[in-house]
Structure 1
Amino acid sequence: MKSSNRLLTIFGIVIGIMILIAIILVMALPGNGSVSLLPEDTPEGTVQRFFIALQNEDYIKAYTFITPPTTDKIPYDAWRSSYYRSSEKSVWKATIGKSKITGEEATVEVIIDVFRPQGPFSEPVHTNRMNFSLRRDGSGWTIISPVDLWWLY
């Protein structure tokens, strides 16, 4: 066998092993499947339930978690149209970070990883770091910012 053929064979085997390892890691990593719910009456729990509703494509339920800082609530149809939806289902993951409660307001850090393969030389994962602002609403919390969904695409 020529050395160039041998090199190509070895290269192919290495690529195959790397793909196999990636598949095993994706299947074995925690975070796949069910998520333990955070307390409903906390800012983190409100943001978590908002994202779960979005992932389940239950936009009406997700809409109930937001209240813009103005007195005029955005109509559902206008809010829903802020989420551009291509024919492909978007793949994303949200990680809830630190939160800070100051009186009647809170901030929750969220890291949103959106998977969008665009070619062999582009980065397939786009990361958005967002701060969600919430306001106490009775015994719970509502999201006052951001209220649109541009960060999912």
Structure 2
Amino acid sequence: MNEVDAASPRSQSRRWSPVMLGLIAVVVVVVAVALVAIFTRDGDSVYPADSPEGVVQRYAQAIVDGDSAAALAYLVPESAEECERWDTGAADYRITLLRSTERDTTARVEVIVSEVVGGGPFGPDEYQNQEVFDLERVDGDWKLVTTPWQFRICAEKVQP
């Protein structure tokens, strides 16, 4: 005679509602997809040294490493010869390739430059800018004509 009524609060607390089961299933799927994405992604891509993307990658790495002599080798000869060097600072930059356009003698490499700054109570701040590197072919090699301000090692000349 002690039957529990199906509508009583005690019997409902022991059952999982279909909504609750659905939410749990969604969370499990999202976590599984995130784990697969994290564990199967490739490391940083290394582009061929003789490609526009590879030149940008090596130039930016030289700047980040503070190796201005190596960075100058990637500039068009006119810029490298007339370069009045300046300190690029010690910022933490990351570059992500958006797209690259290559023609016979010119190329354009579009990137997102991410700069990590500070370390406040919620972690570091990150700022992103879409930037462009312009290159031209000089004696068969790709050389940089213009670089984003974050990666400029030569002071700009002021025109009179």
Is the structural similarity TM-score above 0.5? yes
Match of 2:108 in 1: 107
Quote the residue 1:50 is aligned against: 59
Superposition deviation, residue 126 in structure 1: 1.3
Q: Deviations over 1:46-99 (max 9, x none)?
A: 10111121222212101111127xx464544x23x162x2xxx42111112210
CA contact (8 A) 1:99 1:108 kept: yes
Q: Distance in 2 between matches of 1:75 and 1:82?
A: 16
Q: Report the alpha carbon displacement of residue 115 of structure 1 after superposing the two structures with TM.
A: 0.9
Greater RCO (Cα-Cα under 8 Å, separation 6 or more): 1
Distance 1:57 1:31 in 2: 27
Cα contact 2:75–2:145 (8 A) shared by 1: yes
Q: Distance in 2 between matches of 1:112 and 1:52?
A: 13
- Residue 140 (structure 2) aligns with: 139
Q: TM-score, normalised by structure 2?
A: 0.58
2:72 to 58, 63, 69: 63
Number of aligned residues: 114
Q: Tell me the TM-score normalised to structure 1 length.
A: 0.60
Root-mean-square deviation (CA), in Å? Answer: 3.1
Gaps (5+ residues) in structure 2?
1-37, 152-160
* Structure 1 residue 150: Cα displacement: 3.1
1: CA distance between counterparts of 2:81 and 2:118?
32
Residue pair 1:48, 1:96 contacting (<8 A) in 2 also = no
Q: Secondary structure at the match of 1:61?
A: helix
Q: Partner residue of 1:19?
A: none
Q: What SS does the corresponding residue of 1:66 show, helix, strand or coil? A: coil
Alpha-carbon separation, structure 1, partners of 2:149 and 2:104: 29
Please give the per-residue CA displacement for 1:7-48, whole angstroms capped at 9, x wherever unaligned. xxxxxxxxxxxxxxxxxxxxx78677xx44211111111101
Residues 59-138 of structure 1: matches in 2 within 5 Å?
Answer: 59-67=68-76, 71=78, 73=80, 75-76=82-83, 78-79=84-85, 81=86, 83=88, 85=89, 89-117=90-118, 124-138=125-139
For structure 1, list consecutive stretches of 5 or more residues without a partner in the other structure.
1-27
State the Cα distance separating 1:102 from its structure 2 match: 2.0
**Which residue number corresponds to residue 150 of structure 2?**
151
Give the Cα–Cα distance (whole angstroms) in 1 for the partners of residues 126 and 72 of structure 2.
26
